[in-house]
Amino acid sequence: MDMFGKVKSNQTTLYSDRNNCTSREHIDKWLSINDLLNVACFLNQNWQPDWENKSEKKYTFSVNGENVGVQQVEAPMSIVYFPSEDLAQQAIDIIGNEKLIRILT
């Protein structure tokens, strides 16, 4: 067993272990998602979207070709949300367009 209580085989490797990523690209995507979650947590300062409050504005990312932008949303459709367009844009600036494309596509 590993430190998370998952059963491990003596013949597992990072790429063949069913509990881990299957390729370097898979690892890069998960690490990018982790970066995004950390940035959103920092920028949002404990804010959570209230989906029952229709007057509360919520923003997330939109992908247009190879560019990431910001869009206002009224229903859950992504992995992170921000209380302002400015904070969502700050996240884009911090994470970067290329990494966000990797996450969102």
**pLDDT tens-digit readout, 41-72:** 999 999 999 999 999 999 999 999 999 999 99
Residue 15 inside a domain? The answer is: no
Q: State whether residue 29 is helix, strand or coil.
A: helix
Q: Number of structural domains, the chain? A: 1
Give the separation between CA 105 and CA 102, rounded to whole angstroms. Answer: 6
pTM over 0.85: no
pLDDT, position 24: 79
**Which domain range does residue 70 map to?**
24-104
Whether 5 maps to a domain, the answer reads no
| 13 falls within a domain | no
In a domain, 11, yes or no: no
- pLDDT attached to residue 1: 45
CB hemisphere CA count around 44 (13 angstroms): 18
